Amino acid sequence: ILNVEQSPQSLHVQEGDSTNFTCSFPSSNFYALHWYRWETAKSPEALFVMTLNGDEKKKGRISATLNTKEGYSYLYIKGSQPEDSATYLCASPNYGGSQGNLIFGKGTKLSVKP
Amino acid sequence: GAVVSQHPSRVICKSGTSVKIECRSLDFQATTMFWYRQFPKQSLMLMATSNEGSKATYEQGVEKDKFLINHASLTLSTLTVTSAHPEDSSFYICSAPKPYSVKFTDTQYFGPGTRLTVL
């Protein structure tokens, strides 16, 4: 069974701090790694879909890297702002299934204090 | 982007009652919708896959007679929790890929979820 792990579970930073967290996944039969940002009472918002080893993607102050050989991805937030407070989820497609659902980590909950 | 709505956002019911949760794709047609649930401190776990015009497929351990799924149109899937019990209290959320999306690599679009509390 595919297992996606995220660390840390939660993170508290001050406004202006840069931060990063990790998603690890099985490196065999890799297709893609998805990152979502999930604010309370809202829909999870897609940040990145990463497919190639060495990929680096950026969206504003948020960026992500991918290492498929060792099975991890990092998400970085530069100069955190209170509006970055959310739970960040990573997910891997269920390759064993036929429908294309995602298998999620438990998420990293980020709190940014003003 | 694409928008998926879910209704209701929160429901509290008595044990033994049935609860219907709606998931709608507002600006695209969804032939497939996924239903996940999340228990406290756990990850989102797939319950079932809803396919327009055919029967849903359920994950191991999910009772199909208890969690009824109907995907009657290309924009609406419903999940009915029949005879709900306190152990069914959870967060239920749906997602859908856009049509013609590449199965593993394209984004999926999520509703905001439904918090079910069974007393």
pLDDT of B16 higher than 80: yes
pLDDT of residue A61: 97
pLDDT of residue A29: 80
pLDDT of A27 higher than 90: no
- Percentage of chain A exceeding pLDDT 90: 84
Both tokens of B18, joined, read: 């049935």
Mean pLDDT of chain A: 93
Give A14: exposed, middle or buried? Use CB within 10 Å, 0-12, 13-18, 19+: exposed
Mean pLDDT of chain B: 93
Check CB contact under 8 Å for A43 and B105: no
pLDDT of A82 higher than 80: yes
- Percentage of chain B exceeding pLDDT 90: 83
pLDDT of residue A1: 64
- Percentage of chain B exceeding pLDDT 70: 99
- Residue A2: band (very low, low, confident or very high) from pLDDT cuts 50, 70, 90: confident
pLDDT of residue B98: 82
Is B41 at the interface with chain A, CB within 8 A?
Answer: yes
Cα-Cα-Cα-Cα torsion B100, A46, B48, A2, nearest 10 degrees, comes to: 100
DSSP B19: E
Check CB contact under 8 Å for B42 and A41: no
CB < 8 Å to A104, chain B: 36, 43-45
Among chain B residues, CA nearest to A39: B112
CB < 8 Å to B41, chain A: 106
Both tokens of B25, joined, read: 């794709």
- Residue B2: band (very low, low, confident or very high) from pLDDT cuts 50, 70, 90: confident
Which of B44, B103, B109 is facing A100, going by the closest CB pair? B103
Report, as an integer, the average pLDDT of A53-79: 97
pLDDT tens string B46-68: 999 998 888 999 999 999 999 99
pLDDT of B88 higher than 90: yes
For residue B75, give every residue at least 6 positions away whose Cβ sits within 8 Å of its Cβ, in sequence order, or none. Answer: B24, B25, B26, B29, B30
pLDDT of residue A98: 60
CB < 8 Å to A105, chain B: 43
pLDDT of residue B72: 84
Which of B93, B97, B109 is facing A100, going by the closest CB pair? B97
For residue A13, give every residue at least 6 positions away whose Cβ sits within 8 Å of its Cβ, in sequence order, or none. Answer: A19, A80, A110, A111, A112, A113
Is B62 at the interface with chain A, CB within 8 A?
Answer: no
Question: Contact at 8 Å (CB) between B15 and B81?
Answer: no
pLDDT of A97 higher than 80: no
Which of B104, B111, B112 is facing A100, going by the closest CB pair? B104
pLDDT of residue A30: 85
